[in-house]
Chain A
Amino acid sequence: MVRKPAQPVAGPAGLLNRPLPEPPEGLRKGPLREEAWRSPLRSERTAALLGMWVGIAFAVCFVTGLTSHLIQNPPGWFGWPSRPVNLYRFTQGLHVTSGFAAIPLLLAKLWTVYPKLFEWPPARSVLHAIGRLSLLVLVGATIFQLVTGVLNLARWYTPMPFFFTTTHYWTAWIAIGAILVHVGSKLAIIRVGLSGSAAEPVTEPDEGAGQHEAPAADVKPPAGVPAGALSRRGFLTTVAATSGVVALTTAGQTVPFLSAITVFGQRDPDLGPQGLPVNKSAESAGVLETAVDPTYRLQLFGPRPQQLSLAVLLSLPQQTVTLPITCVEGWSATAEWSGVRMADLLDMMGLSEDAEVTVESLQESGLYRQAVLSPPHSRDPLTLLALRLNGEDLHIDHGYPARLIAPNRPGVLQTKWVSAVREL
C-alpha cells in the first residue's frame, strides 16, 4: 500500500509536520518488515471495539473510584447520602469488578495494536514522534492502574515503593486523560472501525492537513489466515466472554450468591470472626490491651461533655439494624448490629441537628484512627455506636468495645475501638 502525502501546511503546524529523513531501508528487518504482521484478527474494527470496551471499563473505574475518594475526602460542594444503604457497596464493588474485567480487554487491545510499535518509519515527523511518545503515557498509566489495583487487592504492597491510595488516585486522572487524548487523536479511524460501512471510502475534513480520502478499515482480504483459527468475531467474543468470566469470579466478594465461584476476589463475605471479614486487626492497630481495659470510658466532647462506661452504654436504649460493612477494596458483607443510636449520643452531648463530630479510635496512630461524621449520616436512625454484632459482644477485631456503623459509608470511615466523639 502506498502512503499518500498530505497537503502542505503553513506555520508552526507545517514545521511540526515536515517529513523527517527516513532511516535506511536496510534497517527494516524482523518485526519492522511490512509483511511481518499478518494476522487478520488485527484490524481497525477490532481495535475500535476493544478500545471502546477498555474505555468503558476505565470510565466506570474512574467514576466509582472518584466517588470513593470524594466520600473519604469531601470538598465543601460534595454531599454523599446515607441512603440507599447499599449504594457505596454497589459503586465500590463495581470499581473492583470492572477493574478486573478490564485486564483481558486491555491485554487484547494492546495485542491488537502491537504491530504499531514497529511502525516504519519510526518517526515521520516531529508531530508524529510526539504522538508516539504520548502513547507511553497512555499505555504506562493504564497498565499501572491495573497492576497496582491487583496488588492492592492481593494486599501485596512490597513491590509498590509508594503509598497505594494516593498514587492510584492521581494516576487515574492521568490514565483517563490519556484515554481521552487518544480517542481524540484516533477519532476518525475509530469512526471507520465502529461503522459497519467498512467498504466505504472515508473523507474527513481537516483544517490542518487538508482533505484526503482513506479506504475504510477492513479492505485487506484475510489472506494467509490459518484454516480453523478464530475469526475476528470469534476473537472478540472470546475476549468479551473472558472479561465476563473474570467479572463474575471477582464479584463474589460483593455479591453473596457468587462467592462460591470466587477466583479473583479478596474475601469470602462469610469468613472471619463472627462470620464477618476483618480488614485491620486489633493486634496491628495496637489496641489489644486498651480495648479490654475495664477502666474504658467513652469520652463525649461537646456542650455537655460526658464519660460513659461500657455498662452505661449498654444500659442506654439499644437499637438493632442490618447493615453492610463495605471495604474500599470492594468486598462487603451484611451483618446485624446492635448499639446506641448515634443521634441519641449527639443529643446527650447537646449538639444541634447539623453538628459535625469526629469519631476517634483507641488507635494511637494510623490514617484512619478517626473519621468525620456529618449529617445525614450522623443523624440517620440506622447509624449506631455498635456494641454487639450478630447477637454477641463485638469481637475485638471488629472493634470491641464500641465501633461506628453507618449506612452507605466506606469501611475505613466506620471507626473501630471508639474512644471519643468530639464536636468539630
Chain B
Amino acid sequence: MTTGRTAATGLTLSGAPEPAPSPYRWAWYLPGLVAVGWGVYGLLPSVQPLQWGLFVVLGIAAHDLLLAPIAVGVGWLLSRIVPAVLRAPLQVGLIGTGVAFVASLAYVLGRGTSEDVPSAVPFNYAGRVGMALALLWVAMAGWAGFRWAAGANADQPE
C-alpha cells in the first residue's frame, strides 16, 4: 500500500486553489472515453495515422505558437500605447477582424474554385469580408468618437 505525500493542487485562472474533482466526473468520463475509443477505432483503418496526427499537431501549433501569441501581443500593446477611451472599441474591432480573417481565409484564397462548377464558392469573398470589416470599423470609430466626446472611460472591468 502506498501512502505519503500527494501532489499539491493547481491554481485556477484567478489564482485560487483548484477545487477537488467532482464525484460525478465518471458520469462524463465513461461516455467520453467510449466516444474517443470509438472514434480512434473507426479512424485507424480510414487514414494514415501519421498524416492525421501531423494535421492535428499543425493545427495546435498554428494556434498555440502563432494565433494566440499574436492575440496576446496585440492585447499587451493595446493596454500600453492606446488611449483609454479607444481601448474597448479597438478590442471589439480587433476581435471581429481576427475572427473574420480566420474564418474567411480559405474562401479568400480561392483555391477551391473550379471552372466547370462556377456556382460553387461564387462570391468575391475578399470584397464581402472587406465590406463587413469596413462596417465594423466605422461602427467602432463612431463608438470611440462618442466615448471621446463624452470624455468617458466607460466599460470599466467588473
Contact = CB atoms under 8 A, between A and B. Distances in A.
Interface of A: 1, 3-12, 14-15, 17-20, 39-44, 46-47, 100, 103-104, 107-108, 110-117, 119, 124-125, 127-128, 136-137, 139-141, 143-144, 147, 150-151, 153-158, 160-163, 166-167, 169-185, 187-189, 191-192, 202-212, 214-220, 222, 225-235, 238-239, 242, 245-246, 249, 262-268, 271-273, 277-281, 283-284, 397
A169 to B, nearest CB: 8
Interface string B20-54: 11111111110111111111101100111001100
9 contacts: A4-B9, A8-B4, A10-B2, A184-B27, A217-B16, A226-B84, A242-B96, A263-B104, A277-B120
Given A177-B33, A226-B79, A227-B84, A267 B119 contact: yes
B13 A14 contact: no
B138 interface: no
Chain B interface size range: 35 or more
Contact of A125 (B7, B11, B17, B56): B7
Given A114-B72, A283-B116, 14 more contacts: A14-B2, A18-B6, A47-B13, A107-B67, A110-B63, A111-B72, A154-B111, A162-B48, A162-B51, A184-B22, A208-B21, A231-B156, A233-B158, A262-B128
B20 A204 contact: yes
A416 B109 CA distance: 30
A252 to B, nearest CB: 10
A183 B34 CA distance: 15
Contacts of B57: 140
Contacts of A208: 21
B129 interface: yes
A150 B99 CA distance: 13
Contacts of B111: 154, 156, 158
A172 B6 contact: no
A173 B35 contact: yes
